[in-house]
Copies of this chain bind each other. A is one copy, B any other.
Amino acid sequence: MADGFSLDVVARDGQARASRLTTAHGVIETPAFMPVATFGAVRGISVEDLQSAGTQILLSNTYHLHERPGEETVEALGGLHGFTGWHGPWLTDSGGYQVTSLSDRAKVTEEGVTFRSALDGKKRQLTPENVIRIQESLGADIAMVLDECVRVETGDEGRTNPDRVEAAMQRTLRWLARSKAARRRPDQAVFAIVQGGASESLRRRSAEETAALDFEGYAHGGLGLGETRDERQAAVSVANAILPEDRPRYLMGLGRPVDLLDGVAAGVDLFDCVVPTRNGRHGLLFTSEGTLNLRNAVHARDSNPPDPECNCPACRLHGRGYLRHLIRSGEALGSRLAALHNLTYYMSLLNRAREAIIAGTFASFRAEIEEVSERRI
């Protein structure tokens, strides 16, 4: 285990759990959501904004930082903590998902992933070893292994061939062993990634073999890529039943409020997604009354706050009519305030989920949010 890294489960309610995750840069009360700071900043949102929203940990994208400004520059400026001024916990992804999602430019071999840079067109390679090395330079509290990620459903051809899904799962396991051997930093935790598409049996095998390699935490990868909600729920549950209870579990890249609560119900501790910030830019706000679409004309002369129960700057200082105007005018303040509202909503949602788990009322809380999420304003 990395120095000073531990998970203490403080309450359980069904499979859901509330925990304290201790990292080198602070304690995270889970379940917790990680805003995505692609280039080391969350799209116009400041460190002080993130603190006011209740953020506990940030995620940054290794591939983007490797391209610009480069991990040596980040390291020279004190790693992600010193570089960005966010001195709480950081997690970095491995870059593999970004690269393989540009699939026509990426080629996966046993050695790693080869692709052409979107920045300068030059050839680059990510390997299990060099993504560990890059992330050690970036200095996050939690690094992710390189994995091979395949879509469950491809748009044109339907379901991906099961042999292809299994081969990717097996390759990910071989890469896990190489990742582990490449580690040097005693103060950085590394999370392994479970693969296996929408197949329960592949997810089970992947979880068993991954858990045997003994990482500080485990992620569910390759989901939100075409599987049904039930399939996703089964894939996460079957793996969580195998993964050790004393290690954090992270559902990668999902998603909407109901997706987060599905994950919590299946025993997940950590989440990340661009949905709150991206939807905010488009004028879609999550509120205690349902999903508010600021682009609807009905809001043009509405001076009510987006969410009467929220205390973020948008809801404290502004009305729907003004925010709608900013979004429609392409004024940067509109995206900023809407994204910050959504992040505040996500933090509050998982905080309330935690309280419900402790109180033993998670199922009814989840049902209430599911009902609210279906309302359109």
Contacts and interface: CB of A to CB of B under 8 A. Distances in A.
Interface of A: 38-48, 64, 68-69, 73, 76-78, 82-85, 300-301, 303, 313, 317-319, 321-322, 324-326, 328-329, 331-337
Given A69-B300, A318-B85, A336 B325 contact: no
A301 B334 CA distance: 32
Contacts of A39: 325-326, 329, 331
B335 A73 contact: no
Nearest to A39: B329
Contact of A43 (B64, B317, B325, B331): B331
B337 A46 contact: yes
Contacts of A73: 300-301, 321, 325
B68 A329 contact: yes
5 contacts: A39-B325, A44-B44, A46-B313, A83-B321, A85-B318
B317 A41 contact: no
Given A39-B329, A39-B331, A331-B41, A322 B85 contact: yes
Contact of A322 (B48, B83, B322, B325): B83
B77 A46 contact: no
Contacts of A337: 46
Given A46-B336, A77-B303, A41 B326 contact: yes
A257 B58 CA distance: 38
Given A48-B313, A83-B321, 13 more contacts: A39-B326, A41-B331, A41-B334, A43-B332, A44-B44, A44-B332, A44-B336, A45-B333, A46-B313, A68-B328, A73-B300, A73-B325, A77-B322
A341 to B, nearest CB: 12
B83 A317 contact: no
Contacts of A301: 73, 76-77
A38 B333 CA distance: 12
Nearest to A78: B303
Nearest to A333: B41
A325 B73 CA distance: 10
The winner among A42, A319, A329 for most chain B CB atoms within 10 A is: A329
Contacts of A40: 322, 325-326, 331
A47 B317 contact: yes
A220 to B, nearest CB: 29
A85 B43 CA distance: 23
Nearest to A68: B329
A322 B84 contact: yes
Contacts of A82: 303
A309 to B, nearest CB: 19
Nearest to A325: B69
Nearest to A314: B46
Given A73-B321, A322-B40, A336 B328 contact: no
A256 B1 CA distance: 56
Task: List 6 tightest A-B contacts by C-beta distance, closest first.
Answer: A44-B332, A41-B333, A39-B329, A85-B317, A69-B325, A76-B301
Nearest to A317: B85
Contact of A336 (B83, B303, B321, B332): B332
Nearest to A72: B301
Contacts of A319: 77, 83
